A and B are shown apart, each in its own frame.
Chain A
Amino acid sequence: EDKVVQSPLSLVVHEGDTVTLNCSYEVTNFRSLLWYKQEKKAPTFLFMLTSSGIEKKSGRLSSILDKKELFSILNITATQTGDSAVYLCAGPNFGNEKLTFGTGTRLTIIP
């Protein structure tokens, strides 16, 4: 059975700090790993990672994948209150029809 585990479950930091969120996965026939941000409503897509060691970057957010260790991290630098959200990690199943999600990391940024 596919499994995606995120840590920590929650994190509280001050504005301006840098944070690292973790995602480990066990999925058969790995294709990709996805990161989403969920504020009060719909999860919104952040990154899709398919290759080991290649960093994806969008502004202050970046993510990288280690296919050997079955691990991904999401980094946020110079955090702002608008970064407060639940961050979700997900991997497709063998047939690539559906995603298995982790339980998410709840990030709270204190002004």
Chain B
Amino acid sequence: DVKVTQSSRYLVKRTGEKVFLECVQDMDHENMFWYRQDPGLGLRLIYFSYDVKMKEKGDIPEGYSVSREKKERFSLILESASTNQTSMYLCASSFLDRGQNIQYFGAGTRLSVL
């Protein structure tokens, strides 16, 4: 079974703090993704990575950065957390199989910024 593990289920941080969200996958997938999920807005892509040290902006990258130093690990960084970054953050990984790209998700991190 594919396993995508996010380091924290719940996090509470203060405005201005630097926040690291970690994600690890154990299936040697090339692609990894960070989304945020908000009521009424669905899943929105923040950043994705298709290889080690490679990253691409998604639909809402402002206020975030990412790091992928090893294939299995993809980190999301909030340099200076703000209250509008309170959200559920979901990590996913995938690989291309016969042209099809199925994403597998971690359990999510619910971040509250006070």
- Residues on A lying within 8 angstroms of B by beta carbon are 31-32, 34, 36, 41-45, 48, 50, 88, 92, 96-99, 101-104
Q: Please report the C-alpha to C-alpha distance between residue A88 and residue B99 in the assembled complex, in whole angstroms.
A: 21
B interface majority secondary structure:
strand
How many A-B Cβ pairs are below 8 Å?
49
The 6 closest A-B pairs by CB, nearest first: A103-B42, A42-B105, A41-B107, A101-B43, A42-B107, A43-B105
Closest chain-A Cβ to B20's Cβ sits at a distance in Å of 20
Q: Besides A50-B100, A96-B99, 10 other CB < 8 A contacts?
A: A31-B99, A32-B100, A34-B102, A34-B103, A41-B107, A45-B104, A97-B48, A97-B50, A99-B103, A101-B43
> A99 with B42: in contact, given A41-B107, A43-B90 (CB under 8 Å)?
no
